[in-house]
Structure 1
Amino acid sequence: MSHPVINVDLTAKARIRQVALELFALNGSDGTSMRAISSRAGVTVGLITHHFGTKAGLIQAVEDDLLDGIANAIAYQETDESVDGVVRKLDQRLLDHIDANPLVAAYLRRMMLIEGNGAGADLTERFTRMALRQIQDLRRRGIASTSRDAEDQVMQVMLVQLGQVLMQPFVDQIAGHLGQDPQRYQLSLRKTRTT
């Protein structure tokens, strides 16, 4: 597998996070050494510990950055939109963010599906809490229904939005085995109803 080109214009700290995201997504956190990260980022292990303290601190920084990016992508920005229009825009911004940042999707898959009971459990909890905050905000704004439990809405968001991100490679493989174009079977987000 070819490695993405590391942006040398990034600060050393940002470059370390970018490389860590890549290597953690490919190999998992247990399968990635600080030395491998330092070598790929072109820095010393000492610089990594200077910025992040420990490997756990680096993982936390990678996940903070990842979740901040997703939160910014799906932040409510619309005015004078229909409920369906707002939901479609939020969904599309999430997909656009994931398309522009494929390592984010790879990291989420690795941590939530492969390492889900260990290192990924914290990320899943943080992602769930972020979804709950978004639902609560949309409920306050009159965009999301208040006749359903917020927890049910979070579950729907997680299954539909995150499920698409996590499962698309599986769908692509099935399409390939059937001799079909994977684009034909792109998972699509369903419209969320407000009733």
Structure 2
Amino acid sequence: MLNPRATNDDLTAKARIRNAAMDLFAQFGQARVSLRAVAAEAGVTLGLVQHHFKTKAGLVEAVDQLVVDYFAAAVASVPPSGTTAEVASGRDRAVAKMLAENPAVINYVRRAVLEPSDDSRLHLLEELVALTKREVTALRDAGVASREHREATQIVTVLVRQLGELLLAPMVDAVWEQVAEPGTEKPSLTITVQDR
């Protein structure tokens, strides 16, 4: 799978700044990270950060796009051929693999979606919804996805399958630690959406 982030040796200063921002935002939350901290982490001057991204909002938008690119690359790695179930499960596995290989993406998405902040933080969720809508529409048009269910339900279903465990895992882990007997295996988390 193509890595939207690449390695620091291959990157422009702009990409290094964006990557450093994602790492810091994922670790500490966007509200707690200054542009100066991002510049220091990327090994550049504050002026260069401002030159490339103008404001913190511009930098956050670039990080959001990087995260969307990760999801898009994972989904694109599974061709839209086969049954609906095969394509859906293949794409879900590709997203799960991408997330397992990129813990900063997991933490960034959790913070962006779950931490209270201003309305601009919904930008990432809006972009992930737009990506999912494009993919569902393409699968419906290709005859791979069913037209019996509403498109909106299919979009929600995909996002819940791909993000549900990511967002709920910390809560499940915390509850399991409190209620499980020592040595018992944690149950798997399955989330479903029903069209009514």
> What is the TM-score with the length of structure 2 in the denominator?
0.84
Residue 149 (structure 1) aligns with: 150
Aligned partner of 2:55 in structure 1 is 54
Q: Determine the C-alpha separation between the residues in 2 that align with 1:45 and 1:150.
A: 45
Match of 1:106, SS state, is helix
| One-letter amino acid matched to 1:159 | V
In 1, Cα distance between equivalents of 2:64 and 2:42: 18
- 1:32-58 C-alpha deviation (Å, 9 max, x unpaired): 100111112211101111221211111
Aligned residue number for residue 158 of structure 1: 159
Distance across 1 between alignment mates of 2:185 and 2:43: 37
Given that 1:74 and 1:94 are in contact with CA atoms closer than 8 Å, whether structure 2 keeps it comes out as: yes
Name the CA distance, whole Å, in 2 between partners of 1:46 and 1:176. Answer: 46
Contact 2:25 / 2:108 at 8 angstroms: preserved in 1? yes
**Equivalent residue number for residue 122 of structure 1:** 123
CA–CA distance in structure 1, aligned partners of residues 52 and 130 of structure 2:
27
Please name the residue that 1:22 is paired with.
23
Is 1:184 matched up with 2:186? Answer: yes
Counterparts of residues 88-107 of structure 1 (less than 5 Å): 88-107=89-108
Distance 1:15 1:82 in 2: 40
Q: Which amino acid aligns with 2:20?
A: V
> Cα offset for 1:113?
0.8
For residues 174 and 90 of structure 1, the distance between their equivalents in structure 2, rounded to whole angstroms, comes to 29
Q: Does the alignment pair 1:140 with 2:141?
A: yes
Counterpart of 1:45 in structure 2 is 46
Q: Is the 8 A contact 1:111 1:119 kept in 2?
A: no
Runs (5+) with no aligned partner, structure 2 = 1-6
1:155 CA drift (Å): 1.4
Residue range with higher mean Cα deviation, 114-123 or 19-28: 114-123
1:172–1:182 contact (8 Å) kept in structure 2: no
Aligned to 1:81: 82
SS at match of 1:184: coil
Please say if residues 25 and 110 of structure 1, whose CA atoms lie closer than 8 Å, have aligned partners that are also in contact: yes
Tell whether the 8 Å contact from 1:21 to 1:103 is kept in structure 2 after alignment.
Answer: yes
Kindly, what percent of the aligned residue pairs are identical?
34
Judging changes above 3 Å, is the alpha-carbon distance between structure 1 residues 179 and 16 closer, same or farther for their aligned structure 2 residues?
farther
Name the count of aligned residue pairs.
186
Please report how far the alpha carbon of residue 61 of structure 1 lies from its aligned counterpart in structure 2 after TM superposition: 0.9
Contact 1:17/1:61, CA 8 A, preserved across alignment: yes
Cα distance in 1 for partners of 2:117, 2:133 equals: 20
Q: Is the Cα–Cα contact under 8 Å of residues 135 and 144 in structure 1 kept in the other structure?
A: yes
TM-score scaled by structure 1? 0.84
CA shift for structure 1 position 69: 1.5
